[in-house]
Amino acid sequence: MCGIIGYLGDKKASEILLRGLKRLEYRGYDSCGIGVVEGDRLIVKKGVGKIDEVSKSENFLEVDGKVGIGHSRWATHGGITKENAHPHTDCKEELAVVHNGIISNYRELKEELIKRGHIFRSQTDTEVIPHLIEEEIRRLNKSHISQEEYIEAVKRAIKRLEGTYALLILNKNFPDLLLGVRNENPLLLGVKGEECFLGSDISAFLEWTKDAILLEEGDMVILQKGGNGVDYSIYNLREERDVSSEREKIKVDWDIETAEKGGYEHFMLKEIMEEPEVIKNSARVSKEEIEELARCIRDYSRVYIVGMGTSLHAGMVGEYWFSKLNKLVIPCDASEFLVKGIVDEDTLVIGITQSGETYDTIKAIRYAKSKGAKTATVVNVLGSTATRISDITVMMGAGIEISVCATKTYLSQLMILYRLFIEYGKIVGRDMEIFEREIERIPGYIQEVIEKRESIKKVAESLKAKNYLFISKGINLPNALEGALKFKEITYLHAEGMSSGFLKHGTISLIDENMDTVALVPPSTSELFRSVVSNIEEIKARNGKVVAISPVEIEVVDHLIKIPEVLEEVSPFLYAPACQLLAYYKAVELGRDVDKPRGLAKSVTVE
């Protein structure tokens, strides 16, 4: 995800911002920039490329102001261009804003603001924010406004935003003031008497202070220079009251490497823990593109989803969703697509690739285009090869994933496909309200699962076999395949995923003390629940050890990982993190290099 750093104090802001952005490089980015108030001027410098390169070419350090904001961008709206880099300004270039997150109603706001005479310079969702604040100031109809009036204008503007955001806001007319706002995206306040910092994570300012305040949802922090340094107050926009006394200051005893990992031992665990927040972004990004792709799914006779590994498993879940609407969507191993894909001008091919550079998926998309097919890609990296060759690009909004093992990006892919399923259902006249309501609840369901990580750790440490079966049926069969993939790629133990119905067709002969089973048991409301439980009983009858991931108690199993009872269509979002944590803790116990498993690369760019 994007990186944010803000500073107000007595030092040269550009130096602080540059060093803070360097600390945030691990988050991934494609462009960067800073905004600083120097005297009576707002100076914005930004560009595409690495922080050191942009800083040198744009001469970040020539700016001498004491207040500023910095940003490293991971593109979701608009291409990778200087114009789309942050900070963004208003028409008069008096305000500057940096933003992490998704403004889901930006198109409506932008249209309204353009009608009111505002000039936009970028394709981003972020740019509506400074213009919206500018419009609220205009409404006051005054040549000069007080600081209090300005802050109230900002509050009114923020309340019109829908989506997720961490914001820093700068105004050249108030050079001793810096504002920050959090809504479902992380933002922290660093405190140090004569100066204060704001950051998307603590590594942004850990070099200067270890005293931090974790801002909560709806918090607006107001930093202001006073006689004894910088004072802060915190106003909660949801509760409409000052909450400064309720926000606890903590001392963070981390080094920079630990801070980058959010205090977790590995990036993989940090990224699993980020899944509830990532899902919120993925639930809001690419609205128009999803609507367009849903119409294409309706209009084309043959629809394929092509991908490799984790992305293919996401496509397989998608197949089950669309089957409930009587639409055949065929998931296909991208490396086999040229051999068995029947492609013509009445075909839609959707590639899923986190990096946008996966060789086999790119090859499949190009093959489809050569046959006259319509093509789309669900991708996490704007400007990648997949986005350049596809007719439709749907961004996932997952942010950078550092661990080789895909975790949060898998959940993000599922959310995009789930939204496609809902949108297609509405287009063909089905009542999708029950599924649409669940979008807001899914992050909470995932949170419930990952909060059970200590009990999952104990289960993982109890597993002593060298071979594992991951079994399920129906919509969670792909999660059994994904669970096995996660398990073997980071534990280096043999694991195989399959339908539980396959057991009695040969595999059950392998059940012994060296073969444990992980069973993803469907919700009790599913017609498949009894079938999978019956398969578990067959394994137990042969003295096999079984770990069940289930929303209900199953007496015969050796270990139970309890997850919430939800709609069967929603359940893939819950089984996935449970499997990820099981693999993670087993790998840690075995002393594996969890973030960089042997022989694997984050993006497979060769055949």
| Catalytic residue check, 374 | no
Structure tokens at 488: 């073997």
Q: CA 178 to CA 193: how far, in whole Å? A: 15
Partnered with residue 165 across adjacent β-strands are 101, 184
Say how far apart CA 19 and CA 144 lie, in whole Å: 35
Strand (E) or helix (H) holding 427: helix 408-427
Residue with tokens 């963004």: 88
Closest CA to 558 of 543, 571, 579: 543
CA distance 127 to 85: 10
- Give the C-alpha separation, 384 to 580, whole Å: 27
Residue 106 has which token pair? Answer: 């930006």
* Active-site entry in 2, 32, 196, 405: 2
Helix (H, G, I), strand (E, B) or coil at 225: strand
CA 594 to chain centre: 20
In this structure, the number of other CB atoms found within 10 A of the CB of residue 113 comes to 21
537: closest CA among 604, 471, 488? Answer: 471
Paired with 496 in beta bridges are 469
Is the separation of the CB atoms in 197 and 15 below 8 Å? Answer: no
Between CA 372 and CA 381 the distance in angstroms is 25
Query: Catalytic: 91?
Result: no
* Distance of alpha carbon 528 from alpha carbon 536, whole angstroms: 13
Among 486, 484, 480, CA closest to 467: 484
Q: What amino acid positions are annotated as catalytic residues?
A: 2, 602
